Structure 1
Amino acid sequence: MKRFFLLVIFSLLLLSCKENDSQEKQPTVSTNTKGFKLKGNLENFYPKKVFLNKIIENSIYPIDSSKVIDNTFTFKGIVEFPERYALTFQDYSSVVIFILENTNFELVINQDQINDPLIKGSKLNNKLNEYKTKSKQIFKKIDYLFPQFQKARLENDAKELSIIRNELKSIEKEFINFSFDYILQNKNSYIAPMILRDHLKSTTIDTLRIKKAYLILSNDIKNSPDSQIIESFLTLH
């Protein structure tokens, strides 16, 4: 039970990526922006090369690489819209998901906390981390229920199991309401369609609520790749 609900949150917050080295796809770029400079610092692990990967559906495709010198690496380029990209590392299976936007920013990546890199200088990444932190606080309520669930299951206590299931549903509902409220509060940010797109990965998709949230996005935000995927989904449904 605990594992199931934890998988729900992580499926919403993170993309499930499968590395595919057989293809390389260049990102869409625009000449009307100054571009990005990403500096990375590695702690507790020592790859010789870092790869910047484009995320397409459930796969990742390397588009650039950087040698690691003195535990640091650098990427420069231009993206048309902020999107989530993935960093992978030579001889390591670790994957780091982050938002690539046209600004100068820095990632501090510790192997012991690979899913929570420290990101400096990126407003969008900070905003997404704020969302993830609050989401985890909601789902942390599951921790105290799990021992009760195990005990009730061992004792075959149907009444207690029903109470726990209702509490779990309440936690899930709290998260979903928080998530859509967060989208509403950030309707003029590229964060909004990213979070909304994650709801398409839920086992139960609330199409009407997704459509309502999509319609409030600003026109500029609706041009982003994440928004386009949502629009395609809504067109088919």
Structure 2
Amino acid sequence: MFAKNRTNMYKISSLLLAVLLGIIAVSCQQKEENNFKVDVTITGIGDKVVYLQQRKSGEWVKYDSINLVADKGVFEGNIDLPEYFYLTVKDGQGYVPFFIDKSDISITTNINNMRDYTVSGSKTQDEYSAFMESLGKFDEQAALLGQQYQQADEEGKKNIEVQYDSLMEQKTQTMLDYALSNNESVVSPFIIMSNSYLFELEALDNVTNNFSPKIANSFYTQYLKDRVSTLKNVAVGQKYTDFTLNDPDGNPIPLSSILNNNYVLVDFWASLCGPCRAENPNVVEAYNKYHDKGFDVFGVSFDKDHDKWVEAIEKDNLTWKHVSDLKYWSSEAGKLYGVQSIPHNFLIDPQGIIVEKNLRGEDLQNKLAEIYSE
């Protein structure tokens, strides 16, 4: 009898232990699920919904939302690596950008001026803010050059353009140097990602390969790896990648149908892009001069308004084939060719090889003169 009861006691004890361990495990899991907290105070907002959102691949992505009560509320959640978020208000009165990491963070702002805000508690945000403040000197000098440019004569404008280009090179190099020296910080790939259109493939590849394995799974590191891969696919010397988009009448036109053993300039532009419209007369001149010799242009628009797109085509006398999916910066062709700024173009030879990129002004005229004088 004793032995039987003792066996039952062992069973009960084992059961209690299992339950206790289960409670501890659940408790630990709950603790792991909430490794950050964001205390929000928006003076004057009262009782309203606010959101945590992110920008990923050009789209707004909602992460969480809470109801503020008497101006205050708390976000809680779990995060593996620091990520950049936007605290936004439902009716679009403003936002607060900041990094969330594994810490207790406080945000204070006013609904009447959300540009004036305070973020504390996030070491990642502190690091990012300090670096961006150091870049401020370049922006101040650029603004000053912009003012001087408006009042300068033609010779003065050329000199200012040289100064501006030099200033931007310094700014770009400063970002690269920081990312190379701080390769374990998520701030580094975020900075490079946010300005990736400024960097040539070689520099982008080098800095991305230099990031520590500790941040290899960061969204920003993965984004840069994907961008490097895309740029390698459309680098000079590579075979072109075909795509099909609709013309203004809704007819699908593949890029391959335009090649026909010709040199083709794949020209990314948009009706609302001032520099694109300024470059259009140069492309028109090149097209009129060399089209009879086999040169063609394939216009790919980043427009989202069909009528404005067609109006610009007609006004600028762009008589070549045009296509667009009217997705603005989410253009499928733009993604395929890694286009992050416009105007942007690729010159493809009769064999379908990309031979030049971003030919504008005299560079385009000189390259075509070289080709058709052979």
Distance in 2 (CA, whole Å) between partners of 1:144 and 1:64 is 41
Give CA-to-partner distance per residue, 1:152-198, whole Å, 9 cap, x none.
1xxxx221111111111121111111111111221111111111211
Which letter does structure 1 place at the counterpart of 2:187? I
What is the rounded CA distance, in whole Å, between the counterparts of 2:144 and 2:56 in structure 1? Answer: 37
Helix, strand or coil at the partner of 2:184: coil
The structure having more radius of gyration, on CA atoms, is 2
2:160 aligned partner: 164
* SS at 1:62 equivalent: strand
Shift of 1:144: 2.5
Q: Which amino acid aligns with 1:53?
A: Q
**Following superposition of structure 1 onto structure 2, how do residues 27-66 of structure 1 map, counting pairs within 5 Å?**
35-43=35-43, 45=45, 48-66=48-66
Contact 1:88 1:94 in 2 (8 A): yes
Q: CA deviation at 1:31?
A: 7.9
Counterpart for residue 147 of structure 1: 147
Task: Look up the SS of the partner of 1:63 in the other structure.
Answer: strand
Q: Contact 1:187–1:218 at 8 Å: present in 2 too?
A: yes
Question: How far is the alpha carbon of 1:38 from its aligned partner?
Answer: 0.4
Deviations, residues 99-124 of structure 1 (Å, cap 9, x unaligned): 12121111122456534632111100
Structure 1's unaligned 5+ residue stretches are 1-29
Verify: 1:229 aligned to 2:223, yes or no: yes
2:205 is matched with 211
The worse-fitting range, judged by mean Cα deviation, of 209-218 and 106-115 is 106-115
Letter in 2 for 1:50: V
SS of 2:195's partner is helix
Show the counterpart of 2:117.
117
Provide the identity percentage: 20
The amino acid that maps onto 1:233 is R
CA-based RMSD of the aligned residues comes to 2.4
Q: Tell me what 2:126 maps to.
A: 126
**1:193 paired to 2:169:** no
Instruction: State the alpha-carbon separation in 2 of the partners of residues 137 and 92 from structure 1.
Output: 31
Aligned ranges for residues 168-183 of structure 1 at < 5 Å? Answer: 168-183=164-179
How far apart are the structure 2 equivalents of 1:131 and 1:165? Answer: 26
The SS at the match of 1:39 is strand
CA distance in 1, matches of 2:177, 2:169: 12
Q: Does 1:73 align with 2:86?
A: no
Cα 1:138–1:46 shift into 2, 3 Å: farther
Point out 4+ residue stretches in structure 1 off by more than 4 angstroms. Answer: 30-34, 44-47
Range with greater deviation from structure 2 (37-46 or 218-227): 37-46
Q: Is the 8 A contact 2:36 2:102 kept in 1?
A: yes
- Structure 2 gap ranges (5+): 1-29, 233-374
CA separation of 1:46/1:69 partners in 2, compared to 1, >3 Å: closer, same or farther? closer
TM-score (norm 2): 0.50
Flag the structure with more relative contact order, 1 or 2, with Cα contacts below 8 A and sequence separation at least 6.
Answer: 1
Q: Which residue of 2 aligns with 1:89?
A: 89
Q: Secondary structure at the match of 1:114?
A: strand
